[in-house]
């Protein structure tokens, strides 16, 4: 589309600010490759159903680690200057709580809602939690769902043992059932599935990674059962043999670590093995994207391409971010970036923390956000330079959206950081 035509659509938005005008303008911007501007054009009209459908196709923090590949990275506009607090939602206090509220740190972010858990630990229902959806721009509560129970007479479970966003839907899994509701309204979509035997492990692999509707896989003592779409339809993945293990999914592949430490890649649509490699890859997690997978040991990690070829190995650090051109890894002595092609390292300035296990890392394009309970939130360029720091204590988890950083504290407080105010 020509610049003249784009300017005409922009004028239409200014003179007739309707959802349809904004949608036409945003679609044209997207075709021109101006995805950040398209998002900005759509966001003020989020109350419109068609606009919400378009926004739901934007990059989102669909899982606690961003996506089914655990990359902790999004292709969205980053915060590059010292931010301001857009809103802050304090932890609700309930009179019937015998102990201080302490959430589990679940934090998901979509243009349609910020999802956290409302714990009622200390009440008569031990360890129950259900999702609360907050408005991304104001922090106001949009949807507060009561616990959804299901299953047998002697075992019930709340909504949010595992939760993920799949486009316009919020998927939640209790002990025995999978549920789906509309993220914007909380309306029930009725997706329910009961596994045939006792579940030993459940993993969310969806949020668009394995299909437009989102998908889940579940495991019992006999192996992994077929993937389940958000509308309750079972996808043809077949049964994946083996017991519970580490899983990651990206670009039509499911990666898993076998009990003996082997790394296995399967086709997500058929369950057919693509490749496997020896280990022992006995580390705590896998990270995967369209370019390949990272497998960890207790002493480092290795990067494999999508065909199973090992590219390089690195010791001393554990990987936390997998981005198209770089990796972020941490140790108590340093947080470093590694060039994805060569493995060459660069340290992040002033990024030392002995409590690595409690540090959170997220990235938006070439900006890396790092938070820890003691050191607040800091942003770094990919090259290692410190861009800004926000002083706050007890950060438990981070999530990002375009020009936004969301944080949840150990007491359940949720914080939104955004761009500084424009100078007149």
pLDDT at res. 148: 38
3 state DSSP class of 394: coil
Q: 267: which 2 tokens? A: 């086709």
pLDDT at res. 285: 78
Same-domain status, 333 and 406: yes
Same-domain status, 21 and 80: no
pLDDT at res. 131: 80
Q: Which domain holds residue 364?
A: 73-418
Q: E strands, 129-257, where? A: 129-134, 141-144, 162-166, 169-173, 178-182, 199-204, 215-220, 223-224, 228-229, 240-241, 246-250, 253-257
Those residues with Cβ within 8 angstroms of residue 250's Cβ, 6 or more apart along the chain or in another chain: 67, 68, 69, 71, 209, 288, 289, 290, 293
- Tell me the C-alpha distance between 240 and 226, whole Å: 8
Same-domain status, 192 and 329: yes
154-157: long-range contacts, CB 8 A cutoff, minimum separation 24: none
Q: Is residue 66 part of a domain?
A: no
Those residues with Cβ within 8 angstroms of residue 265's Cβ, 6 or more apart along the chain or in another chain: 253, 254, 255, 273, 274, 275, 276, 293, 306, 308
Q: Is residue 62 part of a domain?
A: no
Q: Is residue 424 part of a domain?
A: no
Q: Is residue 191 part of a domain?
A: yes
- Tell me the C-alpha distance between 227 and 238, whole Å: 8
Q: Is residue 423 part of a domain?
A: no
pLDDT at res. 34: 95
If one counts every other C-beta atom within 10 angstroms of the C-beta of residue 323, the result is 22
pLDDT at res. 354: 55
Same-domain status, 37 and 174: no
Percent helix, strand, coil in the chain, to 5, is 10, 40, 50
Same-domain status, 27 and 149: no
Compute the Cα dihedral for 394, 397, 398, 399 and give only its sign.
Answer: negative
- Tell me the C-alpha distance between 230 and 167, whole Å: 10
pLDDT at res. 169: 81
DSSP 67-106: STT---EE-S----S--EEEEEEPPP--TT-SS-------
User: Per the structure, how many domains does the chain have?
Assistant: 2
Q: Is residue 210 part of a domain?
A: yes
Same-domain status, 346 and 311: yes
Q: Is residue 369 part of a domain?
A: yes
Instruction: Give the domain-ending residue among 12, 29, 55.
Output: 55
Please state at what angle helix 35-42 crosses helix 19-31, rounded to 10 degrees. 170
- Tell me the C-alpha distance between 401 and 163, whole Å: 18
Same-domain status, 232 and 314: yes
pLDDT at res. 128: 55
Same-domain status, 31 and 176: no
pLDDT at res. 281: 86
Same-domain status, 301 and 233: yes
Q: Is residue 337 part of a domain?
A: yes
pTM value is 0.86
User: 154 with 98: CB under 8 angstroms?
Assistant: no
Q: Which CATH number does the domain housing residue 300 bear? A: 2.130.10.10
pLDDT at res. 173: 62
Same-domain status, 248 and 174: yes
Q: Which of 20, 24, 19 is nearest to 8 (CA)?
A: 24
- Tell me the C-alpha distance between 357 and 331, whole Å: 9
Same-domain status, 163 and 46: no
User: 349 with 385: CB under 8 angstroms?
Assistant: yes
Element at 264 (helix H, strand E): strand 263-267
Please give the chain's pLDDT, 424 residues, in tens: 788 899 999 999 999 899 999 999 999 999 999 999 999 999 999 999 999 999 999 999 988 889 878 899 999 999 999 999 999 998 654 444 443 444 457 899 999 999 998 754 333 444 456 788 999 999 999 887 654 333 333 233 345 456 778 788 887 765 555 667 788 988 776 555 444 433 333 444 443 333 333 444 444 444 444 444 434 444 433 333 333 346 788 887 888 887 778 898 887 766 678 999 987 887 777 899 999 999 988 778 999 999 999 999 998 888 999 999 999 998 888 899 999 999 999 999 876 665 677 889 999 999 999 998 888 999 999 999 999 999 998 999 999 999 999 999 988 899 999 999 864 4
- 85-104, pLDDT tens digit by residue? 999 998 654 444 443 444 45
Same-domain status, 80 and 22: no
pLDDT at res. 353: 62
If one counts every other C-beta atom within 10 angstroms of the C-beta of residue 148, the result is 20
pLDDT at res. 10: 92
Those residues with Cβ within 8 angstroms of residue 262's Cβ, 6 or more apart along the chain or in another chain: 276, 277, 278, 279, 280, 281
């Amino acid at each position: 589309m020509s610049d003249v035509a784009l300017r005409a659509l922009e004028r239409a938005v200014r003179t007739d600010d309707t959802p349809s005008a904004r949608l036409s303008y945003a679609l044209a911007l997207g075709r021109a490759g101006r995805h950040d501007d398209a998002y900005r054009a759509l966001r003020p009209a989020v109350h419109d159903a068609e606009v919400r459908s378009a926004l739901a196709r934007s990059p989102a923090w669909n899982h606690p680690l961003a996506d089914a590949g655990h990359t902790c990275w999004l292709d969205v506009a980053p915060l590059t200057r010292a931010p301001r607090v857009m809103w802050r939602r304090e932890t609700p206090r309930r009179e019937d709580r015998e102990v201080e509220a302490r959430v589990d740190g679940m934090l998901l972010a979509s243009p349609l809602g910020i999802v956290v858990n409302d714990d009622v630990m200390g009440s008569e229902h031990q360890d129950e939690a259900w999702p609360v959806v907050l408005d991304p721009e104001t922090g106001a509560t949009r949807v507060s769902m009561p616990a959804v129970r299901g299953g047998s007479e002697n075992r019930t479970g709340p909504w949010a043992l595992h939760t993920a966003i799949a486009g316009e839907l919020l998927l939640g899994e209790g002990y025995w059932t999978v549920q789906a509701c509309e993220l914007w309204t909380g309306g029930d979509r009725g997706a329910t599935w009961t596994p045939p035997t006792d579940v030993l492990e459940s993993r969310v692999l969806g949020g668009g990674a394995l299909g437009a509707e989102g998908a889940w896989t579940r495991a019992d003592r006999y192996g992994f059962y077929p993937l389940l779409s958000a509308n309750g339809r079972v996808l043809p993945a077949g049964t994946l043999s083996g017991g519970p293990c580490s899983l990651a999914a990206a670009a039509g592949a499911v990666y898993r670590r076998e009990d003996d430490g082997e790394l296995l890649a399967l086709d997500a649509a058929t369950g057919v093995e693509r490749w496997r490699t020896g280990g022992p890859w006995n580390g705590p997690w896998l990270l995967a994207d369209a370019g390949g997978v990272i497998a960890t040991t207790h002493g480092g990690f290795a990067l494999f391409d999508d065909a199973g070829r090992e590219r390089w190995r690195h010791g001393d650090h554990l990987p936390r971010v997998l981005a198209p051109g770089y990796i972020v890894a941490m140790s108590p002595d340093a947080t470093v970036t590694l060039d994805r092609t060569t493995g060459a390292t660069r340290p992040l300035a002033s990024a030392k923390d002995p409590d690595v296990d409690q540090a959170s890392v997220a990235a938006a394009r070439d900006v890396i956000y790092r938070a820890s309970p003691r050191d607040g939130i800091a942003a770094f360029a990919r090259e290692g330079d410190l861009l800004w720091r926000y002083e706050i204590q007890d950060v438990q988890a981070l999530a990002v959206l375009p020009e936004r950083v969301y944080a949840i504290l150990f007491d359940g407080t949720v914080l939104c950081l955004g761009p500084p105010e424009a100078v007149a």
